[in-house]
Chain A
């Protein structure tokens, strides 16, 4: 007992001394890994523990599963430091190895934990070898073909080990590798690479085992190339075909205009406004009528038109009324300044109309008087219903045209002459064609102007003097309906002038009888020889002129007539303005003529109706 106590105390002291000296038994080693590169040999590595300050030796021992024999590692050097290499003879497959490592130093030893190893489970081949990459140029474009060889030691030929390969590609500037599985083949084609420098690496793996290390980088330069332009040409072709089709379609749409452009048609003779159908129909009146130019002479303003009295006759005794002094200045002024420009020949042409300003008009309260001088030409044309256009203006009338204008007698008031009704201010010349066109539908009278009477005080309707020779044309006064019944033409009415109040836009002359208080004779239907009094106005816009037989009126009207005559003399009417007693009128009874009261004939029916 004393000996054991002494041994123990000595050991304890020795330990203390050794600890104080810094030496100790070795630490426990640790087996890190065992690997077999070709399923024929394998290597185990261990990690040494603390050596304890003393030189330590390591020994690896192994034991196969079905035997109890413990063997030591046959080769410590081949695989390097702290390793044990098992060669072919020492390697058995499908057998568990129980491996331990023992560290030994002067003070003791230490044994690692045992590890069970089956070689077939620890296969990790070496890296593939001879990795080459080449650029292959083909029609579709160049690509990279990577070739390699199996690791030298791996026996894949006999099928003992089966290797699966993998490669990865990266451009130097890229972050990530792109991996491709190559299977069991030893080459791989990489497509769709951008021009530039690429890095290629390959590795392999057994069918059941660990991946090998990556090979060293192989560099390959992808050349610059333009992609095959075939697709570009196809696109261009399709696009151009498409455009051609569109153009053809557009041309097809505009086929007619193209034909017109390339082969312009030869214009055939054509009269503007002439309807060929009329020729075919054969009615001469219609033909003639169609030759009438509508709207000629051109009127610029409806209101320019004004006809106070409208009478045309071809009496030889026409006088030119040159002196316009009788004319009221107002009458003159009331003419539209545009008359001269209208080209209707109104200004300068000789007028057929005898203007007669009744003196009484000055006293009348009529406001709207419009004087119009009706060009002779237009009237003349009405007769013939053919000739159109203004007659050349007489040079004389240039200067004093105002004066030469026959004044359409209108209301006695001078003041109102200036007043124009709104909208119908200026006296306007009503072109005959226009008038005719209006007349034609009515077919009652061709040469008669329809004058709408408006606001005519129901006193008088003044007629143009038909005195000299009863013209073939009469004014047809269409008294406004409202006024018509009231004061159509009072039979008592003697001579009276109708003043054209205005012309409404429909080219209707709005007539107004000149209020002539002086000449007003109630109940008197004396109209004088030269004047016809409108008896009534029918609904057909026919003025029935009253034939006066009594001569009482003559005396009554004489003063008026004188004034009228005087005024008339200032005119240049085609027919002389003669006093009412003028008996030159000779009735010309004709068929269809109505013989009115005082021997005047309503010649409205004389002219062919249009």
Chain B
């Protein structure tokens, strides 16, 4: 009886230690991983934009809506470094997550429309768009873990609805709207990336040389 009790006590101790150790180390690695994903996300969107710009009709630029017309422009974000560094981590995290969440629907639309774009590089665009979608999903899942790690509640996510369900009627407007949506996403992905990297360096007390 004594042996069984001591054995049980020992097992619980080991498990707790493991749990704590995993948790303690995990945030850094999680944020590192999230930063890498967001970096990839932004790089993909940049290359997509370049592909689109290679054969973009000049008239489209005239038709292009203004960037303030992005559906995520209503989100209040820090505009410069001083402001950004003052924002607490969980708020930064929720901002990042909100932005990420706001783009899941539009990206679905984009990937469905990519194959029928009136663009010579639509195949490349199509594959990259799909990859973009995958990245967003995995980043979202990773950020969920980070939230759990950090202990912040997931309630204060801003809702940024996307109402359009088609890009346009004619191919030119579709192309233009595609381009516009993509440019909005490029910017937002940069925001996400920046915020996560700030979070990463804030949590990396064990490895200050990387920041």
* Residues of A bordering B, CB below 8 Å: 39-40, 65-66, 88, 91-96, 118, 120-121, 155-160, 162, 184-186, 207-208
How far apart are A319's CB and chain B's nearest CB, in angstroms?
Answer: 134
B197 & A93 in contact (Cβ 8 Å cutoff): no
The segment from B2-10, B79-87, B120-128, B150-158 that touches chain A is B79-87
Report the bound CA distance from A499 to B82 in whole Å. 145
* B73 / chain A contacts, CB cutoff of 8 Å: 66
Q: Which residues of B contact A (CB under 8 A)?
A: 39, 42-43, 46, 66-68, 73, 77, 79-82, 84-85, 187, 190-191, 193-194, 197-202, 208-211
Q: Which of B82, B197, B209 contacts A159 (CB 8 A)?
A: B197
Known: A93-B79, A208-B43. A162 touches B197 (CB 8 A): yes
Bound Cα distance from A42 to B157, whole angstroms: 32
Do the beta carbons of B81 and A120 come within 8 Å of each other?
Answer: no
- A160: contacting residue among B42, B66, B81, CB under 8 A: B81
Residue numbers in A under 8 Å from B79 (CB-CB): 92-95
- In the complex, the answer to whether A156 meets B211 with C-beta atoms within 8 Å is yes
A95 CA to B78 CA in the complex, in Å? 11
* Contact flag A158-B46 (CB < 8 Å), given A65-B66, A118-B187: no
Q: Are B67 and A96 in contact (CB under 8 A)?
A: yes
Residues A158 and B198 in contact in the complex (CB < 8 Å), given A88-B82, A96-B67, A208-B46: yes
CB neighbours (8 Å) of A95 from chain B are: 79
Chain A residues with CB below 8 A from B43, complex form:
208
> In the complex, are the beta carbons of A159 and B81 less than 8 A apart?
no
Inter-chain contact B187/A157, CB cutoff 8 Å? no
Please determine whether B199 and A159 come into contact, CB atoms closer than 8 angstroms.
yes
Least CB distance from A156 to B in Å reads 6
Assembly CA distance A93 to B80 (angstroms): 6
The answer to whether A155 touches B42, judged by C-beta atoms less than 8 angstroms apart, is: no
Contact call A65/B67, Cβ cutoff below 8 A: yes
Q: Are B67 and A160 in contact (CB under 8 A)?
A: no
B190 CB, min distance to chain A CBs, angstroms:
5
A65 with B68: in contact, given A159-B199, A208-B190 (CB under 8 Å)? yes
A117 to chain B, nearest CB (A): 12
Chain B's closest residue to A160 (CB) is B81
Taking a contact as CB atoms under 8 Å apart, the answer to whether A94 and B77 are in contact is yes
**Residue among A40, A65, A158 with max Cβ neighbours from chain B (10 Å):** A158
Chain B residues in 8 Å Cβ range of A156: 201, 211
Query: Which of A40, A121, A186 has a CB less than 8 Å from the CB of B81?
Result: A40
- Return chain A residues, CB-CB under 8 Å to B208: 157
Residues in B whose Cβ lies below 8 Å from that of A155:
81
Residue of B nearest to A159 (CB): B201
Q: Which listed residue (A65, A158, A207) contacts B39, Cβ 8 A?
A: A207
Contact residue among A88, A120, A158, A208 (Cβ-Cβ distance under 8 Å from B85):
A158
- A159 x B211 contact (CB < 8 A): yes
Contact B187 A94 (CB under 8 A): yes
- Complex Cα gap A158–B200 (Å): 9
- The reply to whether B42 and A158 contact each other, CB–CB distance below 8 Å, is no
In contact, B80 and A157 (Cβ under 8 angstroms): no
A185 touches B209 (CB 8 A): yes
Known interface pairs A159-B198, A160-B198; A94-B191 also in contact (CB < 8 Å): yes
Is chain A's binding surface mostly helix, strand, loop or mixed?
loop
Which residues of chain A are near B197, meaning CB under 8 Å?
159, 162, 207
Determine if A159 and B200 form an interchain contact, defined as CB atoms under 8 angstroms apart: yes
User: Is A66 within 8 A of B68, CB to CB?
Assistant: yes
Distance (whole angstroms) from the CB of A71 to the closest CB of chain B: 16
Please name all residues of chain A whose beta carbon is closer than 8 Å to the beta carbon of B68 when the two chains form the complex: 65-66
Which residues of A lie under 8 Å from residue B202 when comparing CB positions?
158-159
Find the A residue at minimum CB distance from B84: A160
CB distance from A215 to the nearest CB of B (A): 20
CA of A157 to CA of B39, assembled, Å: 18
A207 to B66, CA, bound (A): 26
Q: What are 23 of the A-B contact pairs (CB < 8 Å)? A: A65-B66, A65-B67, A65-B68, A66-B73, A91-B80, A92-B80, A96-B67, A118-B187, A120-B187, A156-B211, A158-B201, A159-B197, A159-B201, A160-B81, A160-B84, A184-B210, A186-B209, A207-B39, A207-B193, A207-B197, A208-B42, A208-B43, A208-B190
* Residues from chain B with Cβ under 8 Å of A39 in the complex: 81
Which residue of chain B has the shortest Cβ distance to A157 in the bound complex?
B211
**What CA separation (Å) do A156 and B197 show in the bound complex?**
10
Note all chain B residues with C-beta closer than 8 A to A159: 197-202, 211
What is the distance, in angstroms, from B4's C-beta to the closest C-beta of chain A? 50
A96 to B46 alpha-carbon distance, docked (Å): 16
With a cutoff of 8 Å between Cβ atoms, the chain B residues found around residue A40 in the complex are 80-81
Q: How far is it, in angstroms, between the C-alpha of A118 and the C-alpha of B85 when the chains are bound?
A: 20
Residue in contact with B190 in the complex, picked from A94, A158, A160, CB distance below 8 Å: A94
Can you name the residue of chain A whose Cβ is closest to the Cβ of B82?
A: A88
CA distance A160 to B66 in the complex (A): 27
Residues on the A chain within 8 Å of B211, using CB: 156-159
CB of B98, distance to nearest CB on chain A (Å): 15
A351 to B13, CA, bound (A): 128
From A89, which residue of chain B is reached at the shortest CB distance?
Answer: B80
Q: Which residue of A lies closest to B188 (CB)?
A: A94
Q: Which residue of B lies closest to A96 (CB)?
A: B67
Q: Looking across the interface, which residue of chain A has its beta carbon closest to that of B77?
A: A94
| Contacts A94-B79, A158-B198, A207-B39; A120 near B190 (Cβ below 8 A) | yes
> Nearest chain A CB to B179's CB is how many angstroms away?
14
Per the bound structure, the CA–CA distance linking A186 and B208 in Å amounts to 12
The 5 A-B residue pairs whose C-beta atoms are closest, nearest first, are A159-B201, A159-B198, A92-B79, A66-B68, A159-B197
Of listed B77, B81, B193, B200, residue having the most chain A CB within 10 A = B81
Residues from chain A with a CB closer than 8 A to the CB of B193 are 207-208
**What separation, in Å, do the CA atoms of A95 and B191 have in the docked complex?**
11
Q: Give the docked Cα–Cα distance between A444 and B31 (Å).
A: 121
A160 and B210 alpha carbons, distance in the complex (Å): 13
Q: Which residues of A contact B67 (CB under 8 A)?
A: 65, 96
Q: Considering residues A88, A94, A96, A121, which has the most beta carbons from chain B within 10 angstroms of its beta carbon?
A: A94
Query: In the assembled complex, how far is the CB of residue A159 from the closest CB belonging to chain B, in whole angstroms?
Result: 3
Cα distance A184–B85 in the bound complex, in angstroms? 21
- CB A304 to nearest CB in B, in angstroms, measures 111
Output the least CB separation between A544 and chain B (Å). Answer: 124
Give the docked Cα–Cα distance between A95 and B200 (Å): 24
Contacts of A185 in B (CB 8 A): 209-210
